[in-house]
Amino acid sequence: MKKIITLKSSKSKSLNGIITVPSDKSISIRSLIISSTCLGNTKIFKLLESEDVLNTLKVLKNLKIKIIKNNDYYEIFGQGGFFSDPQKILHFGNSGTGVRLMAGLLSTSAINATLTGDKSLSSRPMKRIIDPLHEMNVSITHNNGLLPIKVFNRNNQHIPINHTLNVGSAQVKSCILLAALNTKGTTKIVEKIPSRDHTEIMLKFLGANLIKEKNVIKLTSPNFLKPKELKIPGDFSSAAFVIIAVLLSKKSKVTLKDVGLNYYRTGLLDVLKKMNANITVKNKRKFNGEIVGDIEVVSSNLVATVVNKSIVPRLIDEYPILFVAASFASGTSEFYGLKELKVKESNRLSSMSNALSKNGVKLELGNDSIKIYGEETQEGGSHVETENDHRVAMSMLIFGFFSNKSIVIDEMEMIKTSFPSFRELFQKLGAKIEYFQKF
């Protein structure tokens, strides 16, 4: 019988320390992709070396972009937007950001390529990027709205578009903007629901002719992006696991250094403060246009809250760990407008509700909502099916720090997509998390 090494978390006491969390995955992927379109060499410091990022890096190498790893930075030899036809299929693993952004960039780059991903990514919707790209008159095909995607060099005259985004999606917006880099004229995007703006910030920092006024973004091409040094801030989505673990612990205090504080990423802080969280942000400054700061977190007695649809785009990746916080908060928390959770690495609404309810949490699941009845103690002890979702895995391991019985997840490999040092970091803070062998 095959042995599987996974992770087990158990009731922990206090968590204390000063740490840095892994570098931002979204910004790391964008830094590689956008650097490849610069004319000249870009140095990227603190690039996250997770599977999603490294898969994007391998794709760029397959497109004949020279990339060298030095002691403390990566050097990207940009070719001004010129790529060579790859000799193999471009495989993005589990990275929705990588595949959707590169589909946009390559669709107007006069090459032939096939883009695909793993089983999880291949089940995620791609029509949301294909439709606006077709409006731009690119030659691109898809598999009934799913991967693989194929782009063709047919010398089309690409057309700048005016596109209204009805769903808050940074990946769709970024896909269009990167396609627009090679599209003569002004492309205009209207966001009905604003989403994270890392792409706009980085394009502007590197010299793109980009104007943003309220909910309207205009990019005028051709653009000639100039390389600069980039430093990647700590990933707020990774910091979220530490923040909530410390809040739920007794006699705990942790400072997280150099964390990205992009407004469209930090909705969790607003929600937690409503829940009576003791969180202080200090030392605010900027890394290549992105706001960063240090977050000081102290143990808190959390209270229930109501989270409405309006904040969803600022909170989308943090819902799984927020559901854990609600499980141990006093009172009943309600979350609404969660439709987008169904098309992440897993259907996070069902996968989290299943994991929590099997471990003793009383909850009510709606079509796009969830109501969680918080208790000071939760039972735990049930095997967690992660559905190959790194955020479900990490959230339920945090749950195990506070439940009466230990939590064992079905597998741990997918955690490497965003937080390779998860176990080591929590052990350093004092949490009980260890490798576990199961059959």
What is the set of active-site residues?
317
Quote the tokens at residue 16: 């204390």
Quote the tokens at residue 157: 């005259």
Question: CA torsion sign, 258 to 259 to 260 to 263?
Answer: negative
String of DSSP letters for 144-175: TTEEEEEE----------EEEE-S--HHHHHH
Q: Which residue has the tokens 């400072």?
A: 255
Quote the tokens at residue 43: 């140095």
DSSP H or E run through 66: strand 66-69
237 vs 390: CA distance, rounded Å: 12
**Sheet bearing 306-307, strands edge to edge:** 306-307, 331-335, 370-374, 362-365
3-state secondary structure of 57: helix
Q: Percent helix, strand and coil across the chain, each rounded to 5? A: 35, 30, 35
Strand 113-116 versus strand 90-91 pairing type? parallel
